Structure 1
Amino acid sequence: MIWRTLLLLWRSRRRYRREGAMEPLEVGVVRLTTLPTDLDLVGHMNNGRYLSLFDLGRFDLLMRTGLWDLGRERGWYPVVANATISYRKSLHLWQRFDIESRLVAADDRAMYLEHRVVVRGEIYARLLVRGRFVKRSGGVLPIAELFEAIGLDPAAVPAPDEWMTRWADDVALPPTKAPAPSTWA
């Protein structure tokens, strides 16, 4: 994955320099191929590999919207708070596919991104991610401050659907400073 990641960052940086920043609400597309190292023992894409490949979609969005450089400059970095994935069809060896990524909603603390694996216009898998930016100095970056830094009107980004908010609340772990004992009930 490290070589794929480095290659993607290089290509995304090149596109950003040639084409300028992409709009924050645009769909980012990354074209990939299923490699032998992506397969599980059954011969199709390993379910865990999808999450790593969806990271590439987020990295592409960060780089091409200008958030990558802005975050490094200001000491901000993205983290995933929650994620849920649904699989529909398998990817097989040497199969070409696109990862489509888009910001779909935001509230005051987090952004919701959707990632899709698409083959010839058909969705094979979909991931919903709730992520936020944190400051290296500590604390969570308010989304309004992030949007202001990239020139995005917060009103232009839809609020999360009620089910998204409920999902995020239902699967959340305790805050980092609260106890989170591993007890099985």
Structure 2
Amino acid sequence: MRLLRLGGGQMNLYFRLLLLWLRLRRRGAIGLWDTAVTPFRVVPTDLDPFGHMTNSRYLTIMDVGRIDLMMRSGFWSKMKDKGWYPVVAGQTITYKKSLQPWQRFELRTRVLGFDERWGYTEQTFCVGDVVYAQAFVRTRFLKRSGGSVEHDALEKVAGGFPVDREVPNWLVELTAATRIEGSAK
């Protein structure tokens, strides 16, 4: 009964998560450091009054893309076993072209890396090789029992962090510049 009372955006998210779950086995496993390519189509509930995909829907779809990467890489089940969960701490997105009704597109999600506090992910909306939007997401992993997951524990569960990947300096600087006064360190 609760699902019937949810708004269109929440129903859209749950529907897309159900489709993702149903397609997981067919799509196959990937590594946590690979790029997850998740297919989508713009549906009428994605549209704003101007007839293209609304800004907020991009963020919802990005959630699904990150879940796709974590589930297909096996990281999702490892997190759940530890009692951890990810939260978005910040994100920036640049829109280059509008996605139109019924247009097929794919979301390419890849982990850029980690620093001592944050995980950084790049997510790109593409139609073929054309980039429609690109986002960078800063995440943190929390424990259901309270507190944040320590860097070393996260690295161990992830199977190590690649040494050949670096978070771009501009993204680290943006993180520092957007720190809200009075927030936890």
Band the TM-score falls in, shorter-chain normalisation: 0.7 to 0.9
Asked if the contact 1:15/1:64 (under 8 Å) is kept, the reply is no
Q: How far did residue 172 of structure 1 move?
A: 2.3
Determine helix, strand or coil for the equivalent of 1:154: coil
- In 2, the alpha carbon distance for the partners of 1:50 and 1:98 equals 12
Distance 1:79 1:125 in 2: 22
- The reply to whether residue 28 of structure 1 matches residue 20 of structure 2 is no
Contact 1:117 1:125 survives alignment (8 Å):
yes
Q: How does 1:100-179 map to 2 (within 5 A)?
A: 100-151=108-159, 153-156=160-163, 158-174=165-181
Deviation (angstroms), 1:47: 0.8
SS at match of 2:136: strand
State the TM-score, normalized to the length of structure 1.
0.86
Q: What is the percent sequence identity of the aligned residues?
A: 38
Q: CA deviation at 1:109?
A: 1.4
Q: Is the 8 A contact 1:106 1:158 kept in 2?
A: no
Question: Which one is further off, 168-177 or 27-36?
Answer: 168-177
Distance 1:124 1:133 in 2: 29
User: How big is the shift at 1:176?
Assistant: 5.3
Q: RMSD value over aligned CA atoms?
A: 1.8
The DSSP-based 3-state class of the residue aligned with 1:44 is coil
Alignment match, 1:84: 92
1:71 shift after superposition: 1.4
> What secondary structure is seen at the aligned counterpart in 1 of 2:170?
helix
Given that residues 110 and 130 in structure 1 are in contact (C-alpha distance below 8 angstroms), is that contact kept between their aligned partners in structure 2?
yes
Could you list the runs of 5+ residues in structure 1 that have no partner in the other structure?
Answer: 179-185
What is the Cα deviation at residue 121 of structure 1? 0.9
Distance 2:98 2:170 in 1: 27
Q: Give unmatched runs, 5+ long, in structure 2.
A: 1-11
**Per-residue deviation, 1:156:** 2.8
TM-score (norm 2): 0.86
Q: Tell me by how many angstroms 1:132 deviates.
A: 1.4
Counterpart in the other structure of 1:7: 19
Structure 1 residue 126, shift from structure 2 partner? 0.5
Taking the aligned partners of 1:107 and 1:175, their CA distance within structure 2 comes to 21
1:28 CA displacement? 0.2
Separation in 2, partners of 1:174, 1:59: 30
Match of 2:104 in 1: 96
